[in-house]
Every structure is written in structure tokens, then in C-alpha cells.
Amino acid sequence: MKRKYYLLGSSLITLVFLLTSCASSVKSYSKPDLRIEKGRLGILPFSSNIPEVGNVVSDTIGAHLLASGFNIVDRTHMARLLEEKDISYLEVDSPDYKKIGDITNVRFVLVGNIAFSSATARVVDASTGETLIITIFQPNKIIGSASAVDIGDSLAKSLGKKLTRSTELR
């Protein structure tokens, strides 16, 4: 009987170790010849079932980009400016990006979504609504067990590499 519990316990420990040790996947995509002219990047609050998680992820990405020398407008300032004009930033369509760019004086907008099984971050040209870069984070397990800071760090590193290769956003 003790052997049975020992095997069950060992199996559970092994399973937990395997689930927590697998690497997450982060990929960024853009056009191969992408060239972005210099301009300010506004960060909108990321959508999430738990708003605090979206806020932590967008703030973490903003901190990384700011530390890398990017000219950013943070999510709280962006949200306040848009709320003053009664513009929702939660469900943004292509025509809305032009309004957002005009109101907040940004050239590019960073938007994102945190879901159960993945997280995405997109850099959008405010004047055209065109997505320039998209970064996708897929954890080895469900998002709920990954730290919001870890998700933000992963997205920021991948996004930062793509931005520095293709832009002069600094």
C-alpha cells in the first residue's frame, strides 16, 4: 500500500516538474522589409478577463521599451486622454486608430490581449490602422499559472528585438 502511494506521489511530482520546466513559446511577425519611421508609441491597456493582469503586462512591456530608449506614452495617460473624449480603447477598429493618434499625439499604438491560452501584443500604425508587428506568447501551460510579469517580459523582449531591427522609433 505504501508503495502505491509512493509511486503516485512520485508520478505527481514528476508531472508538476515537467509542466513547470517546459519553455514557453514567443514569436514575433512582421513584413520582412518593414521600415518604421521615427515616432511616439502609445500603449493602451491590454484587454483581459482580469483587468489587473492586462495592466501589469502592458506596464511591464512599457517599462522594457522605455528602458531600451523608446519614446512611449504609458497606458494610464493614453486611457485618460481617450476617456476625456469618450473613446473606448477596449474594442478598437482600424478607423479608430487615426482618432487615437490625433488625440494622444502618437504615431504608433501598442495593443494587446491576454486570453486563457495565449497573449498577443501588436504595434499598429495610428495613421493607417495597419498592424506592423504582432508578437504571440504561448505558455507551456494555461495563462492563469504564468505570472503577468513573465508574460510581459517575454512579449517585451520579442517585441523589442523586432522593433530595434526594423525601426527608428527611438
pLDDT of residue 138: 86
Average pLDDT over residues 106-117: 89
Q: Note the pLDDT tens digit of each residue in 5-40.
A: 333 333 323 323 333 445 578 888 887 777 776 678
| Average pLDDT of the chain to the nearest whole number | 77
Domains in the chain and their CATH numbers?
24-166 (3.30.160)
Coil, strand, or helix at residue 164?
A: helix
Does residue 91 carry a pLDDT above 60?
A: yes
- Residue 168: what pLDDT? 52
The confidence band for 57, taking pLDDT boundaries of 50, 70 and 90, is: very high
Task: Report the alpha-carbon distance of residue 24 to residue 137 in Å, rounded.
Answer: 7
Residue 88 predicted with pLDDT over 90: no
* pLDDT one-digit tens code per residue, 92-103: 666 688 888 998
